[in-house]
Amino acid sequence: MRMDKFLSQTLNVTRTEAKKMLKQGRISKNEVICKDGAEKVIPQTDVVCLDGTPIQYEQFHYLMLYKPAGCVTATEDAHAKTVMDYIPAERRRNLSPVGRLDKDTEGLLLLTDDGALNHRLLAPGKHVPKTYYAKIDGTVTEREVTLFAEGLEIGEKKPTAPAILEILHSAEQSEIRVTITEGKFHQIKRMFHAVGMEVLYLKRLSMGTLQLDETLAPGAWRKLTESEIQQLKEEQS
Is the pLDDT score of 12 beyond 90?
no
What percentage of the chain has pLDDT greater than the value 70? 99
Please, how many CA atoms are within 13 Å of residue 64, restricted to the half-sphere of its CB? 23
- pTM of this prediction? 0.86
Identify the weakest region by mean pLDDT among 18-22, 124-128, 159-163, 218-222: 124-128
Per-residue confidence (pLDDT) for residue 41, from 0 to 100 = 96
Domain locations in the chain as residue ranges: 3-54, 62-124+210-236, 129-207
Per-residue confidence (pLDDT) for residue 10, from 0 to 100 = 87
Rounded Cα gap, residues 115 and 62, in angstroms = 11
Identify the weakest region by mean pLDDT among 28-42, 65-79, 86-100: 86-100
Which candidate, 163, 115, 29, 18, places its Cα nearest to that of 9? 18
108 exposure class (CB count in 10 Å sphere: 0-12, 13-18, 19+): buried
Q: Other CB atoms closer than 10 Å to residue 6's CB: what's the count?
A: 24
Per-residue confidence (pLDDT) for residue 175, from 0 to 100 = 99
Region 38-44: mean pLDDT is 94
Instruction: Answer yes or no: same fold for 3-54 and 129-207.
Output: no
Answer whether 84's CB lies under 8 Å from 75's CB. yes
Rounded Cα gap, residues 3 and 14, in angstroms = 12
Catalytic residues, which ones? 102
Answer whether 191's CB lies under 8 Å from 154's CB. yes
CATH for the stretch 3-54: 3.10.290.10
Domain 62-124+210-236 falls under CATH 3.30.70.580: yes
Is the pLDDT score of 237 beyond 70?
no
Parallel/antiparallel/unpaired status of strands 198-207 and 48-50: unpaired
Parallel/antiparallel/unpaired status of strands 53-54 and 62-67: unpaired
* Backbone dihedral region for residue 196 (phi beyond 0: left; psi -120 to 50: alpha; all else: beta): left
Region 12-26: mean pLDDT is 93
pLDDT digits (tens, 9 = 90+) for 87-146: 998 788 889 999 999 999 999 999 999 999 999 999 988 999 999 999 999 999 999 999
Q: Other CB atoms closer than 10 Å to residue 225's CB: what's the count?
A: 12
Residues, the chain, total? 237
Could you tell me where the beta strands, DSSP code E, fall in the chain? 27-29, 32-33, 48-50, 53-54, 62-67, 96-97, 106-112, 130-137, 164-169, 173-180, 198-207, 210-211, 221-223
Domain 129-207 falls under CATH 3.30.70.1560: yes
Per-residue confidence (pLDDT) for residue 93, from 0 to 100 = 83
Per-residue confidence (pLDDT) for residue 54, from 0 to 100 = 95
Sign of CA dihedral 233, 234, 236, 237: positive
